[in-house]
Amino acid sequence: MKLEITALRKSYRQGQEKLTILNNLNMQVDTSEVVAVVGASGSGKSTFLSLVAGLDKFDEGDISVNGHSIKNLTTAEMTNFRAQNMAFVFQQFHLVPHLTAFENIALPLEILNRPFTETEITAALTAVGLSHRGHHKPGELSGGECQRLALARGLITKPSLLLADEPSGNLDTETGQRVMNLFFEQVRATKTTTVLVTHDRELAARCDRIFTLKNGRFE
Ligand SMILES: Nc1ncnc2c1ncn2[C@@H]1O[C@H](COP(=O)(O)OP(=O)(O)OP(=O)(O)O)[C@@H](O)[C@H]1O
Ligand SMILES: [Mg+2]
């Protein structure tokens, strides 16, 4: 999968004022590449990811995934496109609290009406070191375990594009490091094209390329 972003502009309206966050921003990510987006707090990293995910509209420019522009998709088309092609790992895990770890991983496949086997889900749990926690609900898991579960859930659909926003941001340093080791191991093993937002320079250095967001564009 290829991600291509051209001359992207995004502004927010603040009363009478227009606040331009992204301005003439360009990016190209190749298949299986893992790239980092870094930048100061408030520089627009999360805004950028929400545009790529089609969760928010941009003013100008274009975003194309696998050669398909997302600009003119309806909300329903975008929702479907996102479910088929993208996955997310965020600082807040966004797991479904009343479902078990096993069920949380199976959920995206059920939503997409894709057939799956118990073996497949168990393998995904095992890949993130949670084979012994399949029956636990998120509230019965540690922060690191929740994040590993979110990663397994993201990758189960074999997404073309994985978007991650500070995935270790809520974890203590040691847990964060272990989760991120697993994160890199998994995205590399599955050759998943990945955009990782982080302000951790060490994590960024483990990516293939680093994009630094400053004054609305990548330096
Ligand atoms: N809905 C909104 N309306 C107005 N301004 C917004 C909105 N969302 C974000 N902003 C502004 O846009 C700027 C970029 O926000 P964004 O969340 O993308 O930054 P960030 O780089 O992800 O920061 P952090 O590292 O702290 O997560 C901020 O100055 C923020 O105040
Ligand atoms: Mg952010």
pTM: 0.93
**Nearest alpha-carbon partner for 164 in 44, 37, 14, 15:** 37
DSSP state of 12: E
pLDDT value of position 1: 79
Which tens digit of pLDDT belongs to each residue from 171-211?
Answer: 888 888 988 999 999 999 999 999 999 988 999 999 999 99
42 CB within 6 A, ligand 1: yes
pLDDT of amino acid 8: 98
10 Å CB burial of residue 6 (0-12, 13-18, 19+) is middle
What atom in ligand 1 is closest to the CA of residue 166? 27
Helix (H, G, I), strand (E, B) or coil at 178: helix
Q: How far is the CA of 42 from the centre of ligand 1 (A)?
A: 5
Which atom of ligand 1 lies nearest, measured to the CA of 14? Answer: 4
Share of the chain above pLDDT 90, in %: 84
Average pLDDT on 214-218 reads 95
Ligand in closest contact with the CA of 22: 1
- Distance CA(36)–CA(45), nearest Å, equals 10
Query: Of 17, 38, 45, which is best to mutate to test ligand 1, by the most ligand atoms within 8 angstroms of its C-beta?
Result: 45
Q: Is 41 in the pocket of ligand 1 (CB under 6 A)?
A: yes
Q: Render pLDDT for 127-138 as a digit per residue (tens, 0 to 9).
A: 999 999 999 999
pLDDT of residue 170: 85
Q: Residue 15: CB within 6 Å of ligand 1? A: no
Give CATH for domain 3-218. Answer: 3.40.50.300
What local confidence, expressed as pLDDT, does residue 91 receive? 87
The pLDDT score that the predictor gives to residue 116 is: 97
Q: How far apart are CA 81 and CA 84, in angstroms?
A: 5
Mean pLDDT of 131-153: 95
For the residues 29-35, what does the mean pLDDT come to?
Answer: 97
Q: Could you tell me the distance, in angstroms and rounded to a whole number, from the CA of residue 171 to the centre of ligand 1?
A: 22
Q: What local confidence, expressed as pLDDT, does residue 130 receive? A: 95
12 Cβ closer than 6 Å to some ligand 1 atom: yes
- Convert the pLDDT of each residue in 70-95 to its tens digit: 998 999 999 999 999 999 998 888 99
The closest alpha carbon to 217, from 45, 33, 36, 59, belongs to: 45
- pLDDT in the model for residue 23: 97
- Identify the nearest ligand to the CA of 39 by its number: 1
